[in-house]
Structure 1
Amino acid sequence: MDIMGGMTAMASSRTEPDLSYLLDRTSHVLRTRMAAALAEIGLTARMHCALVHALEEERTQIQLAEIGDMDKTTMVNTIDALEQAGLAARKPSSTDRRARIVAVTAKGRRVAEQSRRIVDGVHRAALESLPADERTVMLRALTRLTEGELATPVESPVAARRARQSSR
């Protein structure tokens, strides 16, 4: 592998680093590590996401789906799994009697704290594999990209294939 992000034999044909490969590969490996670490406490990354965001404030399944970038069916299945595990329950909203929110149980709060520590640990381990000065630069650059040039997907007549995600 070379700095251009491709196989060394192909490096001579590239004029720019293969940013797509670099971001996809690191994202994929990070997701697999996250999935394995969370599985140790019986959660998927999607369950973690829904649980911690439901703790922040009263949120409906639809709001949690938007935050977690999940479709409606995936969110329903995720909340079903959280309910079956005794970590959350669907309850009427305190502000809108027509709406139902996802309420985290006491057990769910404990598991959410544990999953936050796990997620932080996976992120920390990845970042600590870089020298401190490179960590800062990388985080600043990725933040600029996600808030700037790569903040919004573009419309295309052919849908872009999203990276396969084992679980979020």
Structure 2
Amino acid sequence: MEIQDVLGYLLGVSSRFIKRKMDKELLKYNLTTSQWAVIKLLSQEDCLTQVEIAQKLKGDKATAGSIILNLYEKKFVDKMLGQNDRRAYVISLTKKGRDAVEEINLIADKVTREALEGISEGDQKILKSSLEKVISNLSEAR
């Protein structure tokens, strides 16, 4: 089997290309795709702890903490001590973070359309469900 036929290779290359394109588009906001993922998640779920953010984004707690700190320093998120656990911070979007979501959603949609150009709507649904199954199959939570 040639490298171009290996699923992991194809997924890795396509992921890098999408990430590279998205990072380029996010430069004007001084954000990375990882930071954008946290902002997008918080726009959907409102207030979350660092652990919850890491779990929902299928990442690790240390990386999530670093991303949150960067977003806090850039004024995209606020951190408040949790009411149930005074050791854990609850993270929420600031006005700057909420304002960025609408604009960046448009950019993310544009990059997604560009990546999926020439792929029928039916095949896009199959691709999405297939990738969700790959993630589920290889998830550590399994």
- Give the TM bin, normalised by the shorter chain: 0.7 to 0.9
Instruction: Report % sequence identity.
Output: 26
Show structure 2 runs of 5+ residues with no match: none
Give the Cα–Cα distance (whole angstroms) in 2 for the partners of residues 48 and 137 of structure 1.
28
Describe the SS at the equivalent of 2:79: strand
Question: Which of the residues 111, 119, 140 maps onto 1:122?
Answer: 111
C-alpha change, 1:39 and 1:126, in structure 2 (3 Å) is same
* Superposition TM-score, scaled by structure 1 size: 0.70
Q: Show the counterpart of 2:36.
A: 48
More helix by share: 2
- How many residue pairs are counted as aligned between the two chains? 137
**TM-fit CA distance, 1:40:** 2.2
Preserved CA contact (<8 Å) 1:38 1:44 = yes
* Superposition TM-score, scaled by structure 2 size: 0.81
- List per-residue Cα deviations over 1:8-50 (Å, max 9, x = no partner): xxxxxxxxx4333322221211111111111221111111111
Show structure 1 runs of 5+ residues with no match: 7-16, 156-168
Q: Show the counterpart of 1:138.
A: 123
CA RMSD of aligned residues (A): 2.4
1:79 corresponds to 2:68: yes
Q: Which has the larger radius of gyration?
A: 1
